[in-house]
Amino acid sequence: MNYSAQVMEHFSNPRNVGELPGANAVGESGNAKCGDIMKMYLKIENGVIQDASFKTFGCGAAIATSSMATELIKGKTIEEALKVSNSAVVEALGGLPESKIHCSVLAEKAVKAAIANYKGN
């Protein structure tokens, strides 16, 4: 399987790993088929994502997409972050093999779940 240099870089050196002290939103997503789980922590102030982190029990592509997703949403308003699709994450990573696209969906879903948690639903 061929991974882009960006995927390998984010897999080997993931950004924003671990629980986030002071997080006021947490979201989780999982894929029943592969059993991988992703947890996203956000610190939101005045509608803006000040900080984000993740914990992923999953494959290398899931780790790379979680890492990239946290980087992409930091500094964005929650409305902007809701528009960060899995394809935007894949594009920022220079692409993913077709069989690994579902891993990026986990990242999008985890961000959305965390924002829903923040909004209280």
For the annotated catalytic residues, the residue numbers are 34, 103
**Contact flag: residue 58 with ligand FES (CB under 6 A):** yes
**Position among 25, 44, 62, 113 found at the interface with ligand FES (CB under 6 A):** 62
Contact present, 3 and 56 (Cβ < 8 Å)? no
Q: Given the complex with ligand FES, which of 62 and 68 has the nearer CB atom?
A: 62
- The DSSP line for 21-33 is TT--EEEEEE-TT
Q: Which span sits near ligand FES by CB under 6 A: 20-28, 79-87, 89-97, 99-107?
A: 99-107
Q: What character string, x for contact with ligand FES (CB under 6 A) and - otherwise, covers 25-54?
A: ------x--x-x------------------
Give the Å distances, CA to CA, from 31 to 15, 21, 38, 118. Answer: 22, 26, 9, 22
Tokens of 64: 């790379």
DSSP character at residue 75: T
Output the CA–CA distances (angstroms, integers) from residue 103 to 38, 60, 77, 97, 100, in the order listed.
10, 9, 24, 10, 6
Q: Under the criterion CB under 6 A, does residue 8 sit at the interface with ligand FES? A: no
Residue numbers 9-28 binding ligand FES by CB under 6 A: none
Q: Would you tell me which residues interact with ligand FES (CB under 6 A)? A: 31, 34, 36, 58-59, 61-62, 100, 103, 106
